[in-house]
């Protein structure tokens, strides 16, 4: 089996077919990773494909398990109301649930029933208009996350009304739902076939996640390899090598090399990803330092405002981490120099931030749930080994294909809706 062909299908192609049929055309153990965003089964915008229950279909995830190599990872998007059922189906199919990655964004649109208005309507009372409010296009205020089949489809004025009955007055300000601001990516892994991860990686090239290439860049210059303290025998538990000057010099050099690596690579990837609001504007960029003029609903702005400016621990030799910024070794509680950065800023600097790009959608892209390209680039890179193949059974508007292409990852995808295949073709080509 050559790299350009996986059983009956060519790589770097999106096929217009149901994924349950398309998966049958893939060979066993032929795919390195899966990154996909299946329907959430909410009947979103009354679209039939979002009411199929496919994400809860254990047979789907069994087929995905069959085609993925042992140790291969899968990332599947879900939301709070329904992701638990999807996770159960994935686990029942034989996958190992490894973690969940939480992507927080600022462009969710609240879908909440106004209970006060509902009571007045039920009682047949006419509410008095007290003022009007300028309302922007639904598609615009949602940051382009949703399509154009909405009741509020253009900028307009809406009426602000007052309760007409005592009962409605009592429940003024009450609703039935929260603003959606997080999506959950389930991280699953196909069980390894060998007795340990090392042997599995040597055989299949799968089993790990790409830590170094997905580290979070630091926002400030670090300490440049400087150390605090010393390796003298008077500090802590004495060791024979502490009386040998040559060994001490060697260990100092090793530690400085580790510090330099930590400075270059950045922070360890977290299971939390933040996205700027689509209306945030980057006003300055110097290397890894970025300055943004953020929308009030931007989660990065809100997080940094709540955390205030904090400073990370200074770079030093390994130290007890129970009271420091990080615990990096199980049981021992040791914070190493590769996890100490000595920089300052808001709490958002600890997490990957997917940058928005309004141009990703384009006027021709009417798909209702477009994912940010930068987000999918990051996820595809996280779970796909070099020269690997990433599968997306629910290609939608083609974001996974574009993202894989951007980061040099091979892909195969399925999309059964012909309308969306046209969008994919235009976006890719």
pLDDT score of 265: 73
Predicted confidence (pLDDT) at residue 207 exceeds the cutoff of 80 = yes
For 186-209, what is the mean pLDDT?
Answer: 98
pLDDT score of 260: 67
Residue in the structure block whose two tokens are 């090793």: 254
58 within 8 A of 92, measured Cβ to Cβ = yes
Q: Which residues contact 196 (CB under 8 A, 6 or more apart)?
A: none
Q: What is the pTM of this model?
A: 0.72
Which of the given ranges, 321-335, 339-353, 402-416, has the highest pLDDT on average? Answer: 402-416
Predicted confidence (pLDDT) at residue 198 exceeds the cutoff of 70 = yes
Fold of 5-102+183-208+368-428: Rossmann fold (3.40.50)
Give the rounded percent of residues in the chain with a pLDDT score beyond 70: 61
pLDDT tens digits for range 94-106: 999 999 999 987 6
pLDDT band at 155 (very low <50, low <70, confident <90, very high): low
pLDDT score of 355: 52
For 73-86, what is the mean pLDDT?
Answer: 93
Say how far apart CA 205 and CA 28 lie, in whole Å: 15
pLDDT tens digits for range 111-129: 899 999 999 999 999 999 9
Say how far apart CA 230 and CA 241 lie, in whole Å: 13
Higher pLDDT, 259 or 244: 244
pLDDT score of 323: 37
For 350-364, what is the mean pLDDT?
Answer: 51
Residues of the chain with CATH 3.40.50.150: 5-102+183-208+368-428
pLDDT tens digits for range 367-413: 445 688 989 999 999 999 999 999 999 999 899 999 999 999 999 99
Local structure of 261: helix, strand or coil: helix
38 within 8 A of 51, measured Cβ to Cβ = no
Question: 388: which DSSP letter?
Answer: -
Predicted confidence (pLDDT) at residue 51 exceeds the cutoff of 70 = no
- What are the DSSP calls for 324-367, one per residue? SS---STTT-EE-GGG----EE-GGGGSEEEPP-GGGT-TT---
* Residue 259: CB atoms within 10 Å: 25
pLDDT score of 252: 79
Structure tokens at 118: 């509902």
């Amino acid at each position: 089996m050559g790299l350009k062909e996986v059983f009956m299908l060519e790589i770097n192609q999106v096929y217009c077919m149901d994924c349950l049929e398309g998966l049958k055309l893939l060979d066993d153990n032929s795919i390195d990773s899966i990154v996909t965003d299946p329907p959430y089964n909410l009947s979103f915008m009354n679209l039939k494909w979002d009411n199929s229950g496919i994400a809860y279909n254990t047979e789907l995830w069994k087929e995905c398990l069959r085609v993925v190599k042992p140790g291969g990872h899968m990332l599947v998007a879900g939301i709070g109301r329904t992701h638990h059922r999807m996770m159960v189906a994935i686990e029942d199919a034989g996958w190992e649930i490894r973690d969940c990655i939480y992507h927080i964004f600022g462009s969710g649109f609240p879908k909440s029933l106004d209970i006060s208005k509902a009571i007045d309507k039920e009682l047949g009372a006419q509410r008095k208009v007290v003022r009007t409010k300028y309302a922007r296009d639904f598609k615009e205020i949602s940051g382009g996350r949703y399509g154009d089949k909405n009741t509020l489809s253009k900028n307009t004025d809406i009426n602000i009304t007052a309760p007409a009955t005592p009962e409605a007055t009592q429940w003024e300000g009450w609703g039935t739902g929260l603003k959606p601001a997080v999506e959950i990516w389930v991280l699953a892994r196909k069980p390894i076939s060998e007795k340990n991860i090392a042997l599995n990686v040597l055989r299949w090239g799968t089993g790990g996640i790409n830590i170094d290439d997905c580290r979070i860049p630091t926002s400030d210059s670090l300490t440049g390899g400087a150390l605090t303290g010393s390796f003298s025998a008077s500090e802590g538990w004495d060791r024979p090598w502490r009386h040998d000057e040559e060994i001490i010099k060697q260990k100092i050099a090793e530690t400085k090399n580790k510090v330099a690596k930590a400075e270059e690579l950045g922070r360890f990837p977290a299971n939390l990803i933040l996205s700027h609001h689509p209306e945030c504007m980057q006003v300055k960029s110097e290397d890894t330092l970025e300055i943004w003029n953020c929308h009030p609903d931007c989660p990065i702005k809100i997080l940094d405002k709540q955390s205030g400016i904090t400073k990370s621990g200074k770079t030093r030799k390994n130290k007890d981490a129970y009271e420091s910024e990080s615990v990096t070794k199980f049981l021992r509680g040791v914070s190493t120099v590769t996890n100490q950065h000595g920089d300052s800023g808001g709490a958002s600097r600890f997490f990957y931030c997917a940058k928005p790009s309004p141009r990703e959608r384009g006027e021709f892209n009417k798909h209702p749930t477009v994912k940010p390209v930068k987000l999918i680039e990051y996820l595809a890179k996280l779970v796909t080994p070099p020269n690997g193949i990433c599968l997306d059974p629910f290609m939608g508007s083609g974001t996974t294909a574009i993202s894989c292409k951007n980061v040099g990852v091979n892909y195969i995808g399925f999309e059964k809706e012909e309308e969306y295949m046209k969008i994919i073709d235009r976006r890719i080509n």
